[in-house]
Structure 1
Amino acid sequence: MFSNGIHISTSTYEVGAGFDLVIDDSNPDDLEFTLLQSNREVKKEVSNNLDLTYRVQTEDLHANFSVFYNQIDNYLFQQNTGLEFHDHEEALAGEELPVDMHEEEGLPIYVFSQQDAELYGFEADVDWHLNDNLRISAFTDFTRAKLTHSTDENTDLPRIPSMRFGTELHWEQGNWHAELGAIHYSKQDKIADFETQTDGYTLVSAAFNYYISLDDTDLTFYVKANNLTNELAKVHSSFLKDVAPLPARSFVLGAKVNF
């Protein structure tokens, strides 16, 4: 409700739902906005949720399959205005501040908005023990989110993760454990206004562990390899996806003690 200023960790300028952002466009080359206390009531979110889950459990197989539907009244979310804030000083209510819709530098201005929304999708995971040494697991999830009763042509909600699916192969023998896995993130093109698409990518990882038990102490030596194919991976739900993607290829050697 009361956000009014720079949010350093997301590199955005946030305007709370308790304010109205009024644009002065009398000079297109030097736009200014004013924050005024809003007369609108910030309402509580009210949701009706339906979840259906089917589970399979046998000696060698564990699986879960779920679908969900959430209908939310007064859904509160951050909306990009397409404007940018250039004077890096916090604003006072009623004070005019410079904005610009064309220059590349500056912080994007986000306002907290409320509209009715619906979210639906599915989740699934499977864990299958092939034998005493080999185990394979897999999962997938998907969420579709959009505004309802909106007069806007585009009803997609911002920063919604794309569909993903992944699998891991585990090998265990005595104190040794190894795993090889991959997760694919689909392209996200169901985007809100002033949002950009995020390309799909696949992350491949591997790990090798050795476990030792000493009285009440558990010692683990491990080596891990992340993003083996050195993919450029951006998290669509992140405000900083274009400037702070996921780490490139990396290797980790270490030890862990539990006591």
Structure 2
Amino acid sequence: MSLLAEQRREVIVERVRAHGAVRVSELAEHLGVSEMTVRRDLDVLARRRLVDKVHGGATVIGDHTTTEPGFSAKAVREPAEKEAIAAAAAALVEPGAAVGLSAGTTTWRLAHRIARIPRLTVVTNSLAVAEALHTGGAESVGSTVILTGGVRTPSEALVGPVAIAALRSLNLEIVFLGVHGMSAAAGFSTPNMTERDTNRALVDAGRQLVVVADHTKWGTVGISTIAELGEADVLVTDSGLADVDRAVLDGEVDRVIVAGPEET
């Protein structure tokens, strides 16, 4: 019986590594076992540091500064926290504004929130963000969505010289930036150096920078810094951030918004 369990767990690890993220329901169907059995297997694998267990499934472990999880892998991480952050960030957007949204699963959730705000001009280098605005009805309320060109990354971003050239010609009122990590030493960072240059161009195009990052991003460091902590005018995070870490951010960022459960 234990051999069968170990074989099953090997299959789980292989599927997580192949797809970046898998759901409990998908694994249960594939393996022909109950979802409870899969959850127990994920507990074992998470303790062994072979996978990261998240709400509803598991994702690959990304501990390295150059590891870039795919969009689907990141989308299942901290969903409630990201929804809370998106709700709080959407309150900063006024009708008629020129807005920039970087790629990311938190900015993707924000896109759904602002799709019905009228007369926006939204510039993004994210295929997922552009689709969220389109399906959310942005055009029906008189908004314009501009998608930059570029080379596609695992996080569904369009990056490179084409995207950078497009962004450098723009003047935006507010830019929302999703990040891979944030720390006192490295600032806001990404594991993708090409994506860093594109995000930097987006930051430079905006008069106000709002970083949207859940508490798990604190202490994570990507290989390339997009911006120093002090460059953010606003940081929107969630209530999972430790008080000591909040104190560091309060000392660097003009305004820190902590989105609680009431924002969901």
Larger fraction in strand: 1
Larger fraction in helix: 2
The two structures have a TM-score, normalised by structure 2, of: 0.23
The two structures have a TM-score, normalised by structure 1, of: 0.23
Q: Tell me which of the two structures has the higher relative contact order, counting C-alpha pairs closer than 8 angstroms and 6 or more residues apart.
A: 2
Q: Which has the larger radius of gyration?
A: 1
